[in-house]
């Protein structure tokens, strides 16, 4: 990925992609996964895969394995892999440090009590911001709550100030934490919510750049305050627009909407998916880049637009076909070998008609057979002339043109009346690969059999 030296000042970047293993990755998840990968590769960087698996109720090993399979299919091989479930001691130490400095405080309100407070604020025309009543609790009041069986949740005390940061995509941003409730970082059962472990991990792993969806912009002010409260270096932030469906609807990993597994099973090329995931909603055109390195050379963060990034399935289909049409034999060869079709002339003759790579097996039968010729009754005499004028072998790229010239001279036919009966007789199909390149792959004996 190209980088603007005025925006990116730190080489050897360390970035992280942090999915939660609670579902399959979809096209929208692939966007930050790939943008982080391209950025790391362009900046001599390190790519960290961090599984945010603190949600023990929904996180599964199956989903964790699925994430790694999906990333590998896209061409992403993480340099470092960590799991938040293995790092609880770090979060506990950060918790204790924040409590000691008075930035993390216990609050005992139940969810019902909090909802009553929020409702009252709305009736008075005020924003439903937490009133920090817990800060005024005496030790005796806390002890009484504890005796009642209440367990506290823990809130981070915000500075309540404008927090400024320069977003590498959106430019100068300001989040005023004065208008926000002190966020809950620890639930009453002692489990951590997303925010504290994320910041602690970013500090511990020395993350230099956080590249993620724009739905996290409002979280950034809070997170910067936590970075500062823990004495950590604040990373640079880049918030990209989110991929949506054609009608602007969100893509959900839990309902399987455009999951990478489904796209893979449907036969899409990983590069088609990668290009759609990154270039959609940017000024980069949807071109059939051959690999991630070439895509990274063409794409930069400042090319990502501030508007919506709408995914069009028709564009994916078109791009997938274009990638196959441009694919050289060396790149296709391993897959062709697995099908017993590792012939460069065959690939070059057939690739222009592929929408999915798997279709090559069916198209190859146009050469290897079996083929059921289609010869109309009123074309019998025409086909007989074609048999009589069929050139002797060896055949090459000029054979088709010389044969057609001879048939045309003998019959007076031209255009569709000349070409279409030959296609039906030789391939049994209404359309297909260019017969000029296909004919030399079919033996003269096979052609005669089909024309007969």
Per-residue pLDDT reduced to its tens digit, 73-95: 999 999 999 999 999 999 999 99
CB of 180 closer than 8 Å to CB of 210 = no
Whether 56 and 148 share a structural domain: no
- State how many domains the chain has: 4
- The domain boundary, picked from 326, 357, 386, lies at 326
Whether 354 and 240 share a structural domain: no
Whether 215 and 238 share a structural domain: yes
Whether 301 and 211 share a structural domain: yes
CB of 210 closer than 8 Å to CB of 236 = yes
Q: How far apart are CA 393 and CA 440, in angstroms?
A: 9
Q: Give the domain range for residue 415.
A: 377-451
Burial class (CB in 10 A: 0-12, 13-18, 19+), 225: buried
CB of 246 closer than 8 Å to CB of 313 = yes
- The domain boundary, picked from 117, 152, 186, lies at 186
CB of 383 closer than 8 Å to CB of 418 = no
pLDDT in tens, 296-354: 999 999 999 998 899 999 999 999 999 999 999 999 999 999 999 999 999 999 999 99
Whether 361 and 434 share a structural domain: no
80's CB contacts (< 8 A; 6+ apart) are 46, 47, 48, 49, 205
Q: How far apart are CA 332 and CA 326, in angstroms?
A: 10
Which stretches of the chain score pLDDT less than 50? 2-10, 254-255
CB of 71 closer than 8 Å to CB of 32 = no
Looking at residue 252, its pLDDT comes to: 60
CATH code of the domain in which 123 resides: 3.90.800.10
Whether 208 and 80 share a structural domain: yes
CATH code of the domain in which 292 resides: 3.40.50.620
This prediction has a pTM of 0.91
Whether 5 and 96 share a structural domain: yes
Whether 31 and 89 share a structural domain: yes
Looking at residue 11, its pLDDT comes to: 65
Burial class (CB in 10 A: 0-12, 13-18, 19+), 244: middle
Structure tokens at 305: 């637009």
Taking CB atoms within 8 Å and a gap of at least 24, the contacts of 281-290 are 281/240, 281/241, 281/243, 281/305, 281/307, 281/308, 281/309, 281/310, 282/309, 286/315, 286/319, 288/319, 288/322, 288/323, 288/325, 288/326, 290/323, 290/326, 290/327, 290/331
- The domain boundary, picked from 308, 340, 368, lies at 368
Looking at residue 254, its pLDDT comes to: 47
Whether 114 and 51 share a structural domain: no
pLDDT in tens, 208-241: 999 999 999 999 999 999 999 999 999 999 999 9
Q: Provide the edge-to-edge strand list for the sheet that holds 153-156.
A: 104-107, 153-156, 184-186
CATH code of the domain in which 400 resides: 1.10.10.350
Taking CB atoms within 8 Å and a gap of at least 24, the contacts of 101-105 are 101/229, 102/157, 103/156, 103/157, 103/229, 104/154, 104/155, 104/156, 104/157, 104/185, 104/186, 105/134, 105/135, 105/154, 105/155, 105/157
- Distances, alpha carbon 376 to alpha carbons 118, 373, 424, in Å: 79, 10, 9
Whether 37 and 60 share a structural domain: yes
Whether 222 and 312 share a structural domain: yes
Whether 36 and 116 share a structural domain: no
């Amino acid at each position: 990925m190209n980088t603007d030296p005025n925006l990116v000042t730190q080489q050897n970047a360390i970035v992280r992609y942090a999915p939660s293993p609670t579902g399959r990755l979809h096209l929208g998840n692939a966007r930050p996964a790939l943008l982080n990968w391209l950025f790391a590769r362009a900046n001599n960087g390190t790519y960290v895969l961090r599984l945010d698996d603190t949600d023990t109720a929904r996180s599964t090993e199956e989903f964790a394995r699925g994430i790694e399979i999906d990333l590998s299919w896209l061409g992403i091989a993480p340099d470092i892999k960590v799991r938040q479930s293995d790092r609880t001691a770090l979060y506990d130490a950060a918790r204790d440090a924040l409590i000691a400095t008075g930035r993390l405080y216990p609050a005992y309100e139940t969810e019902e009590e909090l909802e009553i407070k929020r409702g009252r604020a709305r009736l008075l025309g005020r924003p439903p911001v937490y009133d920090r009543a817990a800060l005024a609790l005496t030790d005796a009041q806390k002890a009484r709550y504890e005796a009642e069986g209440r367990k506290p949740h823990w809130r981070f005390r915000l500075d309540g100030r404008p927090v400024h940061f320069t977003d590498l995509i959106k430019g100068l941003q300001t989040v005023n934490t004065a208008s926000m409730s002190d966020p809950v970082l620890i639930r009453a059962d002692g489990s951590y919510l997303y925010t504290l472990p994320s910041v602690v991990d970013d500090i511990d792993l020395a993350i230099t750049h956080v590249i993620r969806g724009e739905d996290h912009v409002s979280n950034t002010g809070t997170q910067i305050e936590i970075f500062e409260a823990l004495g950590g270096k604040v990373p640079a932030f880049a918030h990209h627009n989110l991929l949506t469906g054609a009608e602007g609807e969100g893509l959900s990993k839990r309902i399987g909407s455009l999951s990478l597994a489904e796209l893979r099973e449907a036969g899409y090329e990983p590069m088609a998916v990668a290009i759609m995931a990154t270039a959609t909603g940017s000024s980069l055109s949807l071109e059939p880049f051959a690999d991630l390195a070439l895509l990274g050379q063409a794409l930069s963060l400042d090319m990502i637009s501030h508007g919506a990034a709408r995914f069009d399935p028709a564009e994916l289909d078109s791009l997938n076909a274009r990638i196959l049409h441009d694919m050289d034999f060396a790149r296709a060869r391993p897959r062709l070998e697995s099908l017993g079709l590792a012939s460069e002339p065959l690939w070059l003759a057939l690739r222009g008609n592929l929408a999915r790579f798997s279709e090559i097996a069916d198209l190859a039968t146009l050469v290897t057979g079996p083929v059921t010729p289609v010869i109309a009754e009123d074309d019998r005499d025409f086909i007989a002339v074609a048999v009589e004028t069929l050139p002797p072998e060896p055949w090459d790229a000029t054979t088709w043109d010389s044969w057609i010239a001879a048939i045309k001279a003998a019959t007076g036919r031209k255009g569709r009346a000349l070409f279409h009966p030959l296609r039906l007789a030789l391939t049994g199909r209404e359309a297909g690969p260019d017969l000029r390149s296909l004919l030399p792959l079919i033996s003269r004996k096979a052609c005669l059999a089909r024309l007969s």
